[in-house]
Structures are given as structure tokens and as C-alpha cells.
Chains A and B, each alone.
Chain A
Amino acid sequence: MPDSPAVLVDGLVMRYGAKVAVAGLSLTVERHTITAVLGPNGAGKTTTLETCEGYRTPQQGSVRVLGLDPISDRKALLPRIGVMLQSGGAWSGVRAVEMLHHVARLHAHPLDPDVLVDRLGLGDCGRTPYRRLSGGQQQRLGLAMALVGRPELVFVDEPTAGLDPAVRRTVWELLEEVRADGVTVVLTTHYMEEAERLADRVHIVDKGALVASGSPLELTRGGARATIRLVVTEPFPPTAPESLRVALGDGTEVTQLDAVSLLVTGPADASTLARVSRWCEDNSVLPESLTLGQRNLEDVFLELTGGSSPTVEGIVE
């Protein structure tokens, strides 16, 4: 059992009525990694996570967590995992530190809650009732609650949604230390930057199925070719990608990211750039920006999931 992966999802199918939330998803999370599950809203991320946490019974396929069945081995599994819910998880009248002490006392050898309070900057609001905490404070308390029982594996659902950049970096550093100490972290996130910075492995999920897996580097490498991102002021006509590809010649690919952006993958040299400019002129297209660079995870994500950017949703809180 020590050799079993932290999480093994095999052919998972979950339906809500006629709606298919998870459509034969298979993925593995290796131990001692930070593994990010990325996907647009409704991709089946939370359903998959909740099946791993024992909240839902797989309708088809199987789920193993630390080699155990989350339903039938529940009693053995629960003390070994930590769960951070996307929201809520505490009484409205409970004080922040009181809640953390409560969860700690349910475990055999918990961390010192005060250490977590310190590390996550919750000292100022320790005696504040949960309902009066800011969204960011609630998030950090949720993370502390997931970690306080000294789990082998933590599931964190959007750990930094709505946090300001400084606090977000604090949380990232904490999660990296958690991994260094031997804890496996499974996180869902809307932030590409977060997955790129933190994750050893990234699983991109769309419409309930896995569309890509790998390290951020493997996913963004795309054959060591550079990219040119063209953003224009008015939506492209439907024929634009093909027309640009013809203009650029062999060895380049053109992907439409959204209504006003195209991604050119290929040799990013002066002549390609010149040809893109000339194509804009010939087609009366007014460029808003023309950016040269390596593909980032967001480009990969947009290509694979058909342009529904998750970053935008991430900002909404």
C-alpha cells in the first residue's frame, strides 16, 4: 500500500440526471507532488474531488485514495486526508482560532494550531466570529483546517481564490513547504500562474474527461517553438486562421484563442513577424497587440479547452 499512488481515478463516470458531469475520467496523482487539476467551470473538477473525498459514490469506474476505497474504507482513510472546501465549513458564530482548535482536537497528533495561525497571518482575526471574517481570511482558515491534522494528502479546492497577491504568495510558499515535508497536495485552480508556479503535474480536464497531463514544462514546450500572439480590435472573420496560415506558409500553425486573438506557433523570426504584419494590412485588420514569446500554460489550456478562459472566472469572487 505505501507504493500505491496518492490518488487513482479509473474510468470515473458521474451523472446528475441527464447531465454527464464526469465522462470516463482517468488520472493518477503521485505521492509527494503538488498536482493541479485545471479545467473550465463545469469540467467535473469538484465532482471528481468530492468522489475522492468520499462524498459521492462512483456510478461507474473506481477511485482509490492512498490505496483505499473512499466509501468502504472511509474510517481508515479520513484521518489521513485533509480537505479544504471551496467555501464555508465553519459555524457562523464560531471564532476563527476556536474552530481550528476544534478540528485539531479531533486528530491524534495535530499541528500546534497557533503555528498555523501565525504562518497564515490569522492572528489578528483569531477571536472574530467566522461570519465576520473576510473571504480571504475564511480561505486561509479553511486551508489551516485542512492541514492541522497532519494528513498525508490534502485536497484543496481553489486555495487562493480572492486572495490579494501578497497573501497568495504566502499560501504558495506554505504549500511548497508542505510538499517538501512529504505531504501530497491535490489542488484545483482557476489561476494558470498558480498551476505553473506550484504544480509538479498538471491534469487538464474538460467536459468531464482528461485532455492533457504533464509537468507545466512538458505541456508548454510544444516542440521548443516560439509563439506570436496577435490580438485585434474587432472580431476576426471565421476564415482568418486559415487565411493567416496560408500567408505564413509551411511550418507554422495558427490557433484561434478567442474572437479577437490568434496564436501563431512556429519560427518566431523577423520574417514571420513581417508576414503577420503584412497579412493584417492586406486584410484591413487593426492589431491591438502583437506579442512574442514561449507558450504559457494558459495558451495550452485555451487550445485544449476551446477558448473558455478560466482566468476570468478566477477573478470573480
Chain B
Amino acid sequence: MSGIGTFSPDPGAAPFVRQVTTQASMEARLMLRNGEQLLLAVVIPVIVLVGGVRGADRVNLSYGVDTFTPGVLALAVMSTSFTSLAIATGFERRYGVIKRLGTSPLSRTGLLLGKVLALLAVEVLQVAVISAVGFALGWEPDADLLGLLLAVVLGTAAFASLGLLLAGSLRAEATLAAANLVYLLLLAGGAVVLPVSAYGSFGDVVGYLPSGALGEAVRAALSDAAIAGRDLLVLAGWAVVGAVATARTFTWE
């Protein structure tokens, strides 16, 4: 272009991979810097784990630390990839971040991938902390790591796409309320922390919820060293549905 001035045009998009890793590292840093997000990501799951194990012990429930730890790991994945993501994205829309990035070279696909990558990074941290607490409480897993990896990745994809769908269609405050409400409902009745079998005949339905499928898949991977094909398929299905719906409805403002 003309001239050799400081501002002489030389436009171009960064390579796609660099865009995605840039976005991912920024989002992960912001998430770990935010107190409320950390509360949701680490503190609440640890409280549920310790409280669940101690409480079950006291009322003689048949579930122990070997059931609760995988369940709480699934809960942590859900809280990060659904609730945290939805709330953060809701406020990104409010503050014009998504709008601003909408005119940067970062595509919607790149933005989504960056977010998912950031979530996975935070989840690694969550798994480390919660597993450590589980071991301290006497957890003895029978683990299939590939099964765990698949469950976490597909669970994240499913919940993240649903979280974005929520954040993309409601105002920031409504997203905040809805994301927390859904989190609480699924925590209580979504077969995340407790297995589907605990829900009686209702369990047939709950197993097809993303929460139930994620919970079962993590439990299979960490209690029976198994890969839960059906549950992973359910998660993949939710991911596709959520992604398609988000791609169609998401608006930058």
C-alpha cells in the first residue's frame, strides 16, 4: 500500500489456530481472575463433595465417596461449561465485547472454539482440585482415562452450546437468573451428583438429559473403568442440537 507511515494499511487475519488460542487464553485468565466464577468452579463442588460424603455417612445412605467424587466432577464440568459460560457470555454481550469481536477477524466458530478450549483448561484445574479432595476422603477410583476424557469433552461441548444458546437469546440479568436456576434444578434432580438409578422410574427420562448423561458417563469412566457409549452419544446429540440452535439464533448484541 501507499507510504511507509506507522499506520500504512497492512490488513490480514491471524492464522486461525492463533486466533483460537489467543481467545482461549484470554477467557481462561478472565475466568480465574473472577471471584464469583472461582466460587462456582471450585468452592461449591468441593462443598458438595465433602458435605455429600459426610451427610451420606450420617444418614447411612448407600452412596459413598466413590459415587460422590465422579458425580461432583460431572457437576464441576456442568457449572463451568454451562453456568459460568452463560453468565460470562451474557455480560460480554451487555458490555459490547461480543459485538466488538464480531468485527474482528475472529469468526463465530473461532469464538466458540476459543471458549470451549478455555473451559477445558479451567476444567483441568477443577479435576485436579476435586480429585485431590476425593482422595483425601478415601476415594478409590477404577478409572478409564479415555472414557473420562470423552465424557468431559462431550459434556463440555453439550453444555457450552446450551449455555451459549441461553446467553445469546436472553438479557444479561435474565441469563444470570436462568443459568443459576437450571444449575440448581439439575444439581437436585438431574442425576449429576447421584446416579440415574437413584431416581426410580424417572431415571429413564433423566438419563437423556445432558446432566444425567454426563454424570453416568463420568461414573462409568471412574467407577467401572468403562466407556459409556450410549451416554456419550446422548451428549454428542445435545452438542449438535445446541450448536445448530446457537449458530442460528446467536446475536452479537
Do A and B make up one complex? yes
Instruction: For A229, list chain B residues within 8 Å (CB).
Output: none
Contact between A183 and B97, CB atoms less than 8 A apart:
no
Interface stretch, picked from B10-18, B73-81, B122-130, B136-144, is B10-18
Interface set, chain B 13-28, CB cutoff 8 A to A: 13-15, 18-19, 22-23, 26
Which of A78, A178, A183 has a CB less than 8 Å from the CB of B103? A78
* Interface status of B201 (Cβ within 8 A of chain A): no
Instruction: For A105, list chain B residues within 8 Å (CB).
Output: 14, 18-19, 22
Contact between A107 and B99, CB atoms less than 8 A apart:
no
**What's the least CB distance linking A245 to chain B, in Å?**
49
* Interface status of A12 (Cβ within 8 A of chain B): no
* Interface status of B5 (Cβ within 8 A of chain A): yes
Contact between B9 and A55, CB atoms less than 8 A apart:
no
Contact between B14 and A108, CB atoms less than 8 A apart:
yes
Contact between A106 and B104, CB atoms less than 8 A apart:
yes
Contact between B5 and A83, CB atoms less than 8 A apart:
no
Contact between B9 and A53, CB atoms less than 8 A apart:
no
Among B22, B34, B91, B103, the most chain A Cβ lie within 10 Å of the Cβ of: B103
Known interface pairs A79-B11, A93-B30, A93-B33. Does A54 touch B105 (Cβ–Cβ under 8 Å)? no
Instruction: For B1, list chain A residues within 8 Å (CB).
Output: 152, 182
Which of A87, A98, A102, A177 has a CB less than 8 Å from the CB of B5? A177
**What's the least CB distance linking A95 to chain B, in Å?**
10
Bound form: Cα–Cα A54–B11 in Å = 18
**What's the least CB distance linking A111 to chain B, in Å?**
7
Which of B11, B13, B95 has a CB less than 8 Å from the CB of A92? B95
* Interface status of B8 (Cβ within 8 A of chain A): yes
Instruction: For A91, list chain B residues within 8 Å (CB).
Output: 30, 92, 95, 97
Instruction: For B3, list chain A residues within 8 Å (CB).
Output: 180-182
**What's the least CB distance linking A214 to chain B, in Å?**
25
Which of B14, B95, B107 has a CB less than 8 Å from the CB of A107? B14
* Interface status of A276 (Cβ within 8 A of chain B): no
Contact between A102 and B22, CB atoms less than 8 A apart:
yes
* Interface status of A310 (Cβ within 8 A of chain B): no
* Interface status of A246 (Cβ within 8 A of chain B): no
**What's the least CB distance linking B171 to chain A, in Å?**
15
Contact between A150 and B26, CB atoms less than 8 A apart:
no
Contact between B11 and A80, CB atoms less than 8 A apart:
yes
Bound form: Cα–Cα A150–B18 in Å = 18
Which of A54, A83, A92 has a CB less than 8 Å from the CB of B100? A83
Contact between A85 and B252, CB atoms less than 8 A apart:
no
Instruction: For B104, list chain A residues within 8 Å (CB).
Output: 78, 103, 106-107, 149
Q: Digit string of B74-117 for contact with A (CB within 8 Å is 1, else 0)?
A: 00000000000000000110011101101111110000000000
* Interface status of A61 (Cβ within 8 A of chain B): no
Bound form: Cα–Cα A80–B1 in Å = 13
Bound form: Cα–Cα A80–B14 in Å = 12
Contact between A183 and B7, CB atoms less than 8 A apart:
yes
Bound form: Cα–Cα A102–B26 in Å = 8
Bound form: Cα–Cα A91–B37 in Å = 14
Instruction: For A55, list chain B residues within 8 Å (CB).
Output: 99, 102-103, 252-253
* Interface status of A81 (Cβ within 8 A of chain B): yes
Instruction: For A94, list chain B residues within 8 Å (CB).
Output: 26, 30
Contact between B105 and A87, CB atoms less than 8 A apart:
no
Bound form: Cα–Cα A317–B100 in Å = 21
Instruction: For A107, list chain B residues within 8 Å (CB).
Output: 11-14, 104-105
Instruction: For A150, list chain B residues within 8 Å (CB).
Output: 7-11
**What's the least CB distance linking B200 to chain A, in Å?**
44
Instruction: For A145, list chain B residues within 8 Å (CB).
Output: 100
Instruction: For B6, list chain A residues within 8 Å (CB).
Output: 111, 115, 177, 181
Known interface pairs A94-B30, A106-B106, A182-B1. Does A89 touch B9 (Cβ–Cβ under 8 Å)? no
Contact between A89 and B33, CB atoms less than 8 A apart:
no
* Interface status of A151 (Cβ within 8 A of chain B): yes
Bound form: Cα–Cα A33–B192 in Å = 60
* Interface status of A147 (Cβ within 8 A of chain B): yes
* Interface status of B62 (Cβ within 8 A of chain A): no
With A102-B23, A103-B104, A182-B3 already in contact, 12 other A-B pairs whose C-beta atoms are closer than 8 Å:
A55-B252, A55-B253, A78-B105, A83-B100, A94-B30, A108-B15, A109-B10, A111-B6, A152-B9, A180-B5, A181-B6, A181-B9
Can you list 26 A-B contacts with CB-CB less than 8 angstroms, sorted by A residue number? A54-B102, A55-B99, A83-B100, A85-B96, A87-B96, A90-B95, A90-B97, A93-B30, A93-B33, A102-B26, A103-B104, A105-B19, A105-B22, A107-B11, A107-B13, A149-B11, A150-B11, A151-B11, A152-B9, A177-B6, A177-B7, A180-B3, A180-B5, A181-B6, A182-B1, A182-B9
The 3 A-B residue pairs with the shortest CB-CB distance in the complex, in nearest-first order: A108-B12, A88-B96, A181-B5
Interface residues of A (CB under 8 A from B): 32, 53-55, 75, 78-81, 83, 85, 87-94, 98, 102-103, 105-109, 111, 115, 145, 147, 149-152, 177-178, 180-183
Interface residues of B (CB under 8 A from A): 1-3, 5-15, 18-19, 22-23, 26, 30, 33-34, 91-92, 95-97, 99-100, 102-107, 252-253
